[in-house]
Structure 1
Amino acid sequence: MTTYYDDRSVRVTSAAIRVDGRTYPLADFTEVWHRRSARSWRVLGRRGALGVALVSPVVFAVIGIAVGLSLDTSLTVTIAIVGGSVLVGLAVGPLADLLFEHLDRSYARGSRTMELWVRWRGRPVRLLATDDALRFGQIYRALQRAVEQRQPVTPR
């Protein structure tokens, strides 16, 4: 028996798929498909907030530099304003790494709920529903490989 995917709640083997403790033999499947829900506006809003958090310190630094150079003040005050603005822009570096990581994870998870369906013993059964697009893709592809391996290959 070959294992194609295995995590805490889903295991796909060449004989069956186990989801949350319930086992479905692949021999009883006649069809496998997936569905996607509508996009989650909450997830998209979070991504937008992360983008604003990434850009806003740089925008404020540029505005500070422009204001510092346009004011008719002494050289010391201008250097202080421009220097402070540059420091604000540089402070973004460590924070940006953290924010980019969160943004990257949000794209890996996806913005939709994905469902895995099979026709099992003649009736449709939803095996899995998850918001994690990366995990769903791995499980779906593992199930496809397992089903493909069960079908006999006809020689050409």
Structure 2
Amino acid sequence: MITYYDDRSVQVTSTAVRVDGRSYSLAEITMVWHRRGSRSWRVLVGRGALGAALAGPLVAAVLGIGLAVWLHRSPTVTIAIVGASVLVGLAVGPVADFLFEHLDRSYARGSRHLEIWARWRGQPVRLLQTGDALRFGQIYRAVQRAMEHTQPARPTARR
């Protein structure tokens, strides 16, 4: 038996697909397909908030420099405002790595619910529903590989 995918709730082997305790024999699966749900606005708003958090200090720094030039104060005051603005802009540095990691994870998870369906014993059955795009892709490809290896080889024509 070959294992194509295995985690705590899904196992795809050369004989069956097991999801949350239910087992579907590959010999009884005739077709596999997937569906994408609608976009999750919650995920998209979260990405926007992360982008704003990354851009906020930089925008504040640029506005501070513009304010310093616009006020036409003494060179000491102008340098102080520009210096404070640059420090605000630099504040994004230590936080940026943390925010970029969360932004990257949000894209790996995806913004839609994804489903894997199969025709099992002649009936359509939803094998899996997940919002994690990376995990979905791994499982869907594992099911495809398992199905490819269980189909009998077609005889070739001899000449």
What is the TM-score normalised by the length of structure 2?
0.95
Q: Which residue of 2 aligns with 1:59?
A: 59
Unaligned runs of 5+ in 1: none
Q: Which residue of 2 aligns with 1:14?
A: 14
Matching of residue 105 in structure 1 with residue 111 in structure 2:
no
CA distance in 1, matches of 2:155, 2:55: 58
1:40-119 matches, cutoff 5 A? 40-119=40-119
Unaligned runs of 5+ in 2: none
CA distance in 1, matches of 2:45, 2:109: 14
The one-letter code sitting in structure 2 at the alignment partner of 1:121 is R
1:134-149 matches, cutoff 5 A? 134-149=134-149
Q: Which residue of 1 aligns with 2:33?
A: 33
SS in 1 for 2:91: helix
Once the two structures are TM-superposed, the CA of residue 151 in structure 1 deviates from its matched residue by 1.0
Once the two structures are TM-superposed, the CA of residue 155 in structure 1 deviates from its matched residue by 5.3
- The percentage of aligned residue pairs carrying the same residue is 72
Q: Which residue of 1 aligns with 2:24?
A: 24
CA RMSD of aligned residues (A): 1.0
Once the two structures are TM-superposed, the CA of residue 88 in structure 1 deviates from its matched residue by 0.5
Deviation string 1:12-35 (CA, Å, 9 cap, x unpaired) is 000001101111110000111111
CA distance in 1, matches of 2:134, 2:155: 35
CA distance in 1, matches of 2:66, 2:155: 73
The one-letter code sitting in structure 2 at the alignment partner of 1:6 is D
The one-letter code sitting in structure 2 at the alignment partner of 1:127 is L
SS in 1 for 2:38: coil
SS in 1 for 2:8: coil
Deviation string 1:28-73 (CA, Å, 9 cap, x unpaired) is 0011111110111111111111111111110110010111122121
Once the two structures are TM-superposed, the CA of residue 154 in structure 1 deviates from its matched residue by 2.8
Once the two structures are TM-superposed, the CA of residue 153 in structure 1 deviates from its matched residue by 2.6
The one-letter code sitting in structure 2 at the alignment partner of 1:135 is R
Q: Which runs of 4+ in 1 moved over 2 A?
A: 152-156
What is the TM-score normalised by the length of structure 1?
0.97
The one-letter code sitting in structure 2 at the alignment partner of 1:9 is S
SS in 2 for 1:32: strand
Q: How many residues in Structure 1 have an aligned counterpart in Structure 2? A: 156
The one-letter code sitting in structure 2 at the alignment partner of 1:89 is G
SS in 2 for 1:50: helix
